[in-house]
Amino acid sequence: MLFSLNSLINLSYANERIVVAGDALTEIVFDLGAGEDIVGVDGSSRYPKQVNQLPQIGNVKLLNIEAVLSLTPSLVISFDDAEIANVLKKISQAKVEVLTLKRVPSTVELLYENINKIAAKLDRAKEGQKLIKRIQNDLSLIQNRTATRRQKTKVLCLMNMEGNIFIAGKNTAIDALITIAGGENLATHNSVRTYTSESLIAMNPEVIILTNHSIEELGGFDKINTIPGITETDAYKNHGIVIIDDSYLFAIGPRVVEVVFKLFNGFYPE
């Protein structure tokens, strides 16, 4: 009888059908060992590579309710962004369990909170604690190295050119990552804002962060000199340009250690 009960329990977990909206959340589910239960993801979810074979359910801020429900999910995990609140409500009304999680403020502490909540929902609390401990241990290595820096490198993150310079300010994932990596974000405004070339020159960052998408829009790395004002900055003159994947800009996920190490090495090259 005990064997039969365990079999039923294992079968119930095996039949879990999860749809995820939010790249960081998708990565958490995979790192908890439940990636095989994911049956659909949003367009921002590109890691690990297995997700590229999964059905798409729209953009994280513009979910396709028909696409979601067509996958007959038992659980939908999403960020609680206001733009999709109505869609998530309709999914819940369709008798599908919905777990919503905070995306902002983008901090490591919020990452740990989201890991714990997802782990609890998937009955993987031990795996959640192991994941958090691993991230904490790896980040402590960076924290020990940044603690010895008397002066912080001055940084700006430019994104989504399209004829304008967009700079990421406070309360963004990249601002938190810059801080963790031991840098100082020169942009003090909230969220993302356009800046003029004159402002970029005046702030004169020592390091400029660009995204893969921005490089593609420019037509390649050799075209970064076409960004108005960039050639007048110390970052450009001293080859202080760091390229990161766009996925890091939306929310802090389990790969936080990977990007923080890359930023730290860009801020303080040896």
Question: What does the pLDDT look like over 219-234, one tens digit per residue?
Answer: 899 999 999 999 999 9
Report which of residues 116 and 4 the model is more confident about.
116
Residue 167 burial (CB count, 10 A): 24
- Residue 161, pLDDT > 70, answer no
Residue 138 burial (CB count, 10 A): 14
pLDDT computed for residue 7 by the predictor: 42
- Residue 165, pLDDT > 90, answer no
Highest mean pLDDT among 59-63, 80-84, 121-125, 156-160: 121-125
- Residue 4, pLDDT > 60, answer no
- Residue 6, pLDDT > 50, answer no
> Given the DSSP bridges, would you call strands 241-244 and 207-211 parallel, antiparallel or unpaired?
parallel
From 101, 103, 95, select the one nearest 75 (Cα to Cα): 95
pLDDT tens column, 12-28: 445 689 999 999 999 99
pLDDT computed for residue 25 by the predictor: 96
Residues 6+ positions from 71 with CB-CB distance below 8 Å = 17, 19, 39, 40, 55, 57
pLDDT computed for residue 164 by the predictor: 76
> How far is CA 25 from each of CA 70, 110, 169, 205, rounded to the nearest angstrom?
21, 12, 23, 32
pLDDT computed for residue 150 by the predictor: 84
Contacts 24+ apart (CB under 8 A), 124-132: 124/32, 124/33, 124/34, 127/31, 127/32, 127/33, 128/32, 131/28, 131/31, 131/32, 131/254
Q: Using CA atoms in the order 87, 91, 97, 101, what is the torsion angle rounded to 10 degrees?
A: -10
> Given the DSSP bridges, would you call strands 165-168 and 153-159 parallel, antiparallel or unpaired?
antiparallel
